Structures are given as C-alpha cells and as structure tokens.
Structure 1
Amino acid sequence: MTNPRSLSSVENDPQSGFTLLEILVVLAILALLIGLVAPAALRQLGGARVSVAKQSISRLGSVLDLYKLDVGTYPTTEEGLAALIHKPADAQNWNGPYLKDVNEPKDPWNHPYTYQAPSSRDGHDYDLCSAGARGTGTTNPGQSGAICNP
C-alpha cells in the first residue's frame, strides 16, 4: 500500500514541473521540425496548383469541344470563354450555358484564363492558357511559366 502522505507531498512540491531549460529544448525541437516540414509542404502546394490548372484546362477543352459540336466553331477570341456562359449573338445552335458558374473561369491563382482562337500554334484550334503563379501580362503558349492546352 502506498503512503497517501507521499503522494500529496509530490503535488505540493515546489520543485516539481518543467525547468526553463527543458521547455527551451522542446521549443527548439519544434522549431527545427517546423523549419524542415514547412518548405516541403509549401512546395507540394505549389505543385498541386499547377496540377489543378492543367486539369482545369483539360476540362475547359472538353467544354469547348461540346460548344463546337453544337455551334459548329470554337468561340472567337473576342467572344472568349464568356461564350460558354452567355449566348453569343451569332450562335445558332447554342445549347448552353456550358459552365455552371455565371463568371468566367479562373485559374488556381485566381487569374482569368486567356483564350485565343484561332491558335498561334500549328496543329491547335485554340490556345487556352494560365499564366501560372506569376499571373502577369498576356499569356502566350511559349511564355515561361505559362500552362496551356496540349
């Protein structure tokens, strides 16, 4: 049997608890772990946004193909991706809206996609691009950091 007096004396002992050195060691270990893990997590986040942009461009490409099946041509550069939401004046067999959202789609960095038809590249009907993380200026398929339809 344990002595009840010895248990209560431990609870009231002013020497029990953590020392300042022990707390500092734990904080140093936590800081080291955060310093190692945070950059890797941020790199993964950046890679995920690029992957989402590529998937979104592919999905929008499928929607543009549906538009072409209905109307007969891809939207012009002037009509842009808004033609997928609002009927252009000269579109005869438009069966839209082709997108649920009432706003033009934006990339994972919250920048609008750029659309150009006809394409400036050989073998493509249109150019659909995201400027990527930079999101500045016009987006050309050859521009560094641009993510475009394959």
Structure 2
Amino acid sequence: MASARLLALTLTLGLLTGYAHAEGSTPAWKQLSEEQRKVLEPVSADWDSLPDWQREKMLSIARDYPKMTPEQQDRVQHRMAHWSKMTPEERENVRKRYQEFKALPPEKKEEFRKKWREYQNLSEDERENLRREYRGSGNAPDGFRPPPR
C-alpha cells in the first residue's frame, strides 16, 4: 500500500516537475518501441507536442513499468489517462498547487498528508459529500477535478 502511494506520488511529481534537456533529444511517437507505445498509449495523442522533459519522464515510467506490480501498473495507466484528459489550464493549476505544496514547511506538509490519509479512509459517499461541500464553498480552484481512483 505504501509503495503504491509512493509510486502514485512519484508519477504525479514526475508529471508536474521538469528538468532541462536539449530540444529534440527525445524520440517522436513513431520512434518508440512497441512496448513503450503500449505503456504510454494514454498519452499517445499528445506525445509529439509534449516538452522533452515530460517525454523523458514518461520514458522513465515505461522503462520501470515491467517491474511494477499489476496494481501499480493499473494506477500508472489511470493517472496517465487522467492527465492526458486535462486541459492545459488544469495542468497548469496542478503544477501551481504542487509548487505551493513544495514550498510548505515540513510540519505543514505532514499535516496535509495526514488529512489526505484521513480523506482516503472515508467511504465513497462521505468523499462525494465533502467534494460537493467544497465546490459549493467557493474555495475550489478553477478547473479543479480530483483524479479518478
């Protein structure tokens, strides 16, 4: 369970953070191996327009994919599919929220993680009620959509 959460966090952070690479240093979709294309299929429509840093991260995920448990693989597929369906504005919002989280002091990060674990332990009905309440409060960020389970 902890390793699945770590994997999900790693995937999310990888999607949200970048590192510099020379332009054009990553392969086009047609140049990927059959195995890579199979793993990265959820982002196939966007692949050739993704920045190099994001392609590199996706290639890293594809390389590690065979070593993952079936549950981890399923989570990776769902996260990539969710990310690919987000609008550029939603993606930017997620990146911004991540940067805000990164800037928090360690005790605030731990408080956030604790609340997140509590939320994860709620029933689906309780979560849906909280989401409705949150959206109705006017505090939900523009374009906010929680990721699918």
Same fold by TM-score, threshold 0.5 exceeded?
Answer: no
From the two aligned structures, give the one with the greater helix fraction.
Answer: 2
Is the radius of gyration larger for structure 1 or structure 2? 1
TM-score using structure 1 length? 0.29
TM-score using structure 2 length? 0.29
From the two aligned structures, give the one with the greater strand fraction.
Answer: 1
